[in-house]
Amino acid sequence: MSVFSNPHFDNHEQVVFAADPESGLKAIVAVHSTALGPAIGGCRAWHYADEDSALADVLRLSRGMTYKAAMADVPFGGGKSVLMLGRDQKKTAGLLDALARAIEGLGGRYVAGEDIGTTAADMAQIRRGTRHVMGMPREQGGSGDPSPMTALGCFVSIQQAVKHKLKTDRLSGVRVAVQGLGNVGMNLCRLLHEAGARLTVTDVIFDHVRLASERFGAQALAPDAIVDAEVDLFAPCALGAVINARTVGRLKVAIVAGGANNQLARPEDGSALHERGILYAPDYVVNAGGMIQLAAERLGEAPAVVEARVRGIAARLGEVFLQSEREDKPPHIVADQLAEQRFRPGALAA
Ligand code: NAD
């Protein structure tokens, strides 16, 4: 396993390998940057195929959090942790306690949260061993489900993208295809419907599609047909890598803006969108609403402040679009550069 020469290493400040034979803990905590504040990022519990996959995942995700936090304008850096579960290993209180000790050992440089494979109840268990954790159950002072704020961030991003590309302030009559009707997608559909948008939707779970049709008059499409939809805007809210070599040429939309993480399979796919004249709203700028809500738990901010911060995503996205147009550079590259100017100003000046 290579660490410093790992393609995802990118000058991580600190990477901690934590083991505890008694509980069976094997975990990696990655702190990419604390330039803007303590590194925040979820704790993923996963059955990784091997150690290299776990390391690549934690480094990639932790770096991504730095960019997301920088563009969300919250005083935090980026980090992530992965709990590497063995083939038949289950999460236990002992395992989470051991992880809590590893997090505590970082003295607040990393603040954990929920992610794939962990729950608010797990965060409450970790809280017994360290205060550097967020996303606890609501009854224990947590801020609850982050998805509505993520969806609000997507909604204001869509408004901004439509304003920039279609030159209108109104969503009334704008045709939007939403892929994935889970926590984020369904909330987004509601907001879009209330604003008068015309919805086309898909999901692999039929009940989700039925609900969206009943509630919002959405037209349903098969999951593999959604990228071909003849609409104004495509909003990926399900899987990553949905914009890839196979799909990028099929899109018939003017805009791609949605909540899913890692929508571009490769950076080249973002460039291909730009060449085709399709406006891409960089995913980590759009979907930062949930992270803003979690960050607010640490900052002790009131719900009204959280909402204002989430609505502020639109202005930052507007900055990205304008610079992209001025420099004829794809928005995903512009967003990365703007984020880097925030967390690595010295490096850019040097
Ligand atoms: P979710 O699991 O609640 O919803 C995902 C939905 O996508 C499900 O209804 C699922 O059936 C559907 N789906 C899966 N595969 C599909 C396919 N091939 N075609 C169509 N639909 C498919 O997840 P979520 O919390 O709504 O998150 C959605 C996306 O947004 C994820 O990429 C997630 O990483 C990202 N995200 C979520 C949040 C948040 O606050 N929940 C924050 C940031 C980013």
Q: Could you tell me if the CB of 263 is within 6 A of ligand 1?
A: no
The string of DSSP letters for 245-294 reads TTTTTT---SEE--S-S--BSSHHHHHHHHHTT-EE--HHHHTTHHHHHH
CA angle 43, 121, 308 (to 5 degrees): 70
3-state secondary structure of 178: strand
CA separation for the pair 235, 226 (Å, rounded) = 10
- Whether pLDDT at 348 is above 80: no
Pick the closest to residue 71 from 301, 330, 313, 307 (CA basis): 313
Structure confidence by residue, pLDDT tens digits, 188-235: 999 999 999 999 999 999 999 999 999 999 999 999 999 999 999 999
Structure tokens at 283: 């995913």
**Strands of the chain, DSSP E:** 14-20, 25-33, 39-46, 77-84, 110-113, 175-179, 198-202, 219-220, 233-236, 255-256, 279-280
Residue nearest to atom 33 of ligand 1 (CA): 260
CA separation for the pair 201, 208 (Å, rounded) = 9
- Residue 290 CA: which ligand 1 atom is closest? 40
Question: Is 191:151 a contact under the CB 8 Å cutoff?
Answer: yes
Cα within 13 Å of Cα(82), Cβ side: 23
Structure confidence by residue, pLDDT tens digits, 134-158: 999 989 889 989 999 999 999 999 9
3-state secondary structure of 110: strand
80 a catalytic residue: yes
Structure confidence by residue, pLDDT tens digits, 83-127: 999 999 999 999 999 999 999 999 999 999 999 999 999 999 999
Q: Could you tell me if the CB of 238 is within 6 A of ligand 1?
A: yes
Q: Could you tell me if the CB of 182 is within 6 A of ligand 1?
A: yes
Structure confidence by residue, pLDDT tens digits, 283-305: 999 999 999 999 999 999 999 99
- Residue 186 CA: which ligand 1 atom is closest? 26
The pLDDT value recorded for residue 350 is: 45
**What pTM was estimated for this model as a whole?**
0.94
Structure confidence by residue, pLDDT tens digits, 331-344: 999 999 999 999 98
